[in-house]
Structure 1
Amino acid sequence: MQNVLIVGAGTGGSIILDLLQNLEFMNVNAIIDTDEHAPGIIRAKKQGIAYGMDWTSYLTDDLHIIFDVTGDKSVFAELLKARPAHTVLIPGSVANLLVRLLEENDTYIKRIHIEMHKQRMIFDSIEEGMVGIDEEGTVDFFNKSASKMIGFPIEEAFGRMITDVIPTTELPRVFDSGVAELNEEQILGNGLKIVTSRYPLFDSAGKKVGAFAVFKDITEVVALAEEITDLKKVKTMLEAIIHSSDDAISVVDDKGNGILVNPAYTRITGLTEDEIIGKPANADINEGDSIHMRVLKSRKPVRGVNMRIGENNREVIVNVAPIIVDHQVKGSVGVIHDITEMRNLMKELDQARTIIRKLESTYTFDDIFGGSSDIEISIEQAKLAAKSDIPVLLRGEAGTGKELFAHAIHSGSERRFNKFIRVNCSAMHSSKLEAELFGQESEVSQSGNGSTQGLFQESAQGTLFLDEVADLPLVVQARLLNYLKSGTIFKNGGTYPVHLSVRVIAASTKNLEKAMHEGAFIEELYYVLNRLSIQIAPLRSRKKDIPSIIGHLLVRLNQEFGMNIEKITDEAQERLKQYDWPGNVRELENVLSRAMIYMESGDAVIELIDVVKSLSSRENTEEEQILPEKSTLNSIMDEYEKTILETALRENTGNKSLTANRLGISLRSLYYKLEKFSLI
């Protein structure tokens, strides 16, 4: 909870008071103004919030934020001088910006609530009953169709045990087994006969979080099936039901030719009965294969297939089941759900979530996945780092997630509400790097006009992430060292020190010890940065984390590609575990992206063949690469020697004596080489 003091109760102070009252993590201690009739004072009186004309008595140690919206520079100066050291003072200009951001955030939250309401309306309009439970067996989803069939009010069902609502339920058993059950007949307590499909629910980490059932009243259908023996009679008796359905329905005969469509089908596809009846089952398909033909061949139902159909190119989900009479396939029936509007709503919701995420600024420790001891140690070290302001050095190969760790440390610190700025030290031109970091003092005037701020000043009270810090020129290293020791910088061309509070996080893929011994990295800077060093293990040393990382990546890639990939097969995962991942997690993401691109339309599972194609593309690309332009024989030999050492250690499960014997070198030489390549 952040304690807040508002100084200035005019229009701006009133707006900030209203916005902060709606935020659970903000507590307004008091609002101050010299005018006791100011709008903000009047609102504070009505809401029971402390108010007054003098702010000095409210500058307590538990105060976190002060909003100065008086517009009086002298008041701001007095507040700046008198505030507790840890209290953040926000001037009127910044407060107005925060007001706009909070109003925009509130707008997007309202939009999300509207979209959630629309989705609830959609679920309540579906004829199938839907019931969901959590891991305790408590009902947490219950639509109108379910309430009507079961005879239990919606408002009374939520929060009740599922056995109280449906005594004959099998959902707890499905949750315990973790295995879906499709098209099971069941008789409810009121005698209604239904056909139901039950599914266990898993989160992105593979943990069971509940179970879900979809069911439909089949009392009339069963009664008819007992009397009807051929497809024509089925058509006659069911026509009235089919034509009254809001879902699009199409029926084909055993040859795959259309024999029946309902008005909803004509409405969704834009095709008339004459264009469908007697025509092959693929006449209405713009993208994908005929599910009717697949069902007629396999004699098994197919559900949840994404397709585009008709002249309007509508995006739909198709469920098709065979019609079997006297053990013979007489045709198939398809139920089509139009999801074009739902998909648009989901895209808007994803966009809103993305915008909110950007407003929240950064990643957190929840975005780091893995359960191996190496990554858990790195996460614990990073969480400790977040509690202090000392410099942090992140070390690891390219693609291991050093920037993700830097974001997480920032978001877990007290600086999380301020800027996080990343600098790629290897990408900036050395001639411009100093001015970019420290700013430029112009000779035009003494008042500061014409001068430019550097990234240090832009990240004041926040975090500056220096990626590939080993590539900084020595002169910039010296100036960085000076800041870390004194807390001050000098602009280029400036003569006066600028005092700043910036958290510095550095990262490097290079051997800093080697660079230090070669004179390319300042020794004292190395020891200052190395006070808290976090080594991030490469993916090849923690392959058991690959399944959880894949689950997280699939969620994000599904959103990015607009796909609905549900899982990856065990065989495909095993193939990924056999690969050594020189590009680490970043390369794994690229391989999954290529595998999704190779998949057929409508597929929901990444198979072994998709992974093999993707890895083959990666390996062929590697074979076609030529020697890097700036590589030398020494650097190539060092990389090769490091690879040999890593392989020998892995083969001997880390035993140093066995590794030295295997390589034919002394134990002392082995330790020297391991230290040289930062392998211990």
Structure 2
Amino acid sequence: MQNVIIIDADKESIRVLQHLERIESFRIVGIVDRSEQGDSKKFAIQNGIPHRPDPESFLSENVQFVLDFSGESQFTYNLKHSQITVLTKPISQLIVKLLASRCVDLDPLQSDIATYTSIFNSVGEGMIGIDKTGYINLFNDSASKMLGFSAEEVIGKPILSIIPESGLPDVLHTGQPESNVELQLNNGLDILSSRYPLFSPDGTANGAFAVFKDVSGVIRTAEEITDLKRVKTMLEAIIHSSDDAISVVDSDGLGILVNPAYTRLTGLTEQEVIGQPATVDISSGESIHMKVLETKRPVRGVNMRIGENNRDVIVNVAPIIVDQEVKGSVGVIHDITEMRSLMKQLDHAKALIRELESTYTFDDIIGTNDDLLVAVSQARIAAGSDIPVMLRGEPGSGKELFAHAIHTGSKRSEGDFIRVSCASLDVEAIEAALEHTEIHHEKSSGTLFLDEITELKPDVQKTLLEYLGSGSITAAGHPIQLSVRIITSSAANLERAVHEGVLCEDLYYQLTRMSIRIPPLRTRTEDILLLTDDLIAMLNQEFGMTIQHVTLKAMQRLQSYEWPGNVRELENVLSRAMILTEAGSTQLDEEDIVRALSSRSEQYTDSALPEKRTLASLMEDHERSVLEASMKENNGHKVLTADRLGISLRSLYYKLEKYKLI
């Protein structure tokens, strides 16, 4: 390395001398400019080169050349350092001229070199080159980052000392390129490398280079994509195997997924739903999907009608939230029709179980209401005698429970308790029921409970009156002495039934020798809490559930309801609420009660007016529909139905026969 001092160079000379800085073997260590505003001083400042007005301070053992442009022959130097060569102005100017002629060719070349070097170091792929001896002569910045070595550390070293697994020596030897070769570096980095031989003009391989890129991220991404596809396949399989209808929409409310159960329920195929607004499947009501997307909160237990068949359903919809942002919503749709069928089967099974058990006592009558306590007191007195008992009260108020308790508390408790619906009795049936209750147990006769006494046919009333008067019945022409206890019930107005000739007056007086009126549930709301706790405990055993209590708002909802079906309806509503509640729940919330109350009865809708129908025919169709609905509401009890419609029992029978409803 030759150190140079420049003295009083002009502007043109400075421009040319700049090239000395590009020559590795020359270095300008000082500039002398004895004028304050000289060009050489400005050059020194711009390039960070030391500058002084006196050359003596720069002369040292480390300076080899002095280029003097001053032209002052009298200017002398202290040449105590014999190694310093002073080039006077003519010689210095000659050097500048020679450099200027060469700079014309060097500038474009150096510009190209700078451009290629910049490109070489800016590409994302790593590049390594070797000469014909296998030593590294090319190494870019990307290769430095991937390998963890600087260019200064590897240039001039054997390739195998840096990358022992490198295939560049093989490519140099064979002269054959290799493409997309996988390789793991010592630092654990996975790369994909392509190697190429370099040939001299005579066709001799005189080097090789490799281009490689980091594929660790690509491999991780590919693995993640594979895992995501596997999870997606599993989720789709779960959704498609579900018996519940499932509908999913995106953040704009457009359908993105439905399962086969959804198609079966609504009749709509994927093609008719995917990409369509969430309202495409709604027959009536608002879109719960859109409501959830707007509020970002789940909505549960909504009654709706969807699909081509206007199916009644209950819908639960929840938002899909990713990174605190709503990406869509998912809805689960339950067909109420199937639920109602299951509830009916459950009610029937419960009735059969209770009929088989028949072991109710006065302790099973729950309540603290004064009217109820009076009824219980009267029933206890009735249990101590054999006189007929008439239990009066609305449907579902507990008449059969009272009858059971009276039987269990009487001396006939070891005998049979037989319940018979009066609507199904004829003479032979009442005689068979009396005989069966009499002879089933040798020690004591049992109790015959006749439900809804006003529905007894006249000839059956006559047979029953005969037994109550004489204690015997005539069968096959011979009197048979019996001692069966008779308990009857009625939800109808007995006095009106006697007045209209529906109930025999003498039978009325025989059956009402002891009459007990059971209060309806709506008059004893203080008992709803006790009844609810007792019913939930019983239903937990039946359903295998663990409901512990109802919330305050749920209880307020129960106590504010009118309960036309009394205790029986309360039990049905609680059973529905328990079935419809979330799996694993330990309490009933207000929404559970509301949902159960809303699904307690079928919904009827008026059909559109048909063409070419007379007013009379339309009125008859409407009357038939009202009769069907009323009979269903009163569980087939004709006396209750007649009272509900405000017509006589004979008129009801006439209309039922007219429309072939019996």
TM-score range, shorter chain: 0.3 to 0.5
What TM-score do you get using the length of structure 1 for normalisation? 0.37
What TM-score do you get using the length of structure 2 for normalisation? 0.38
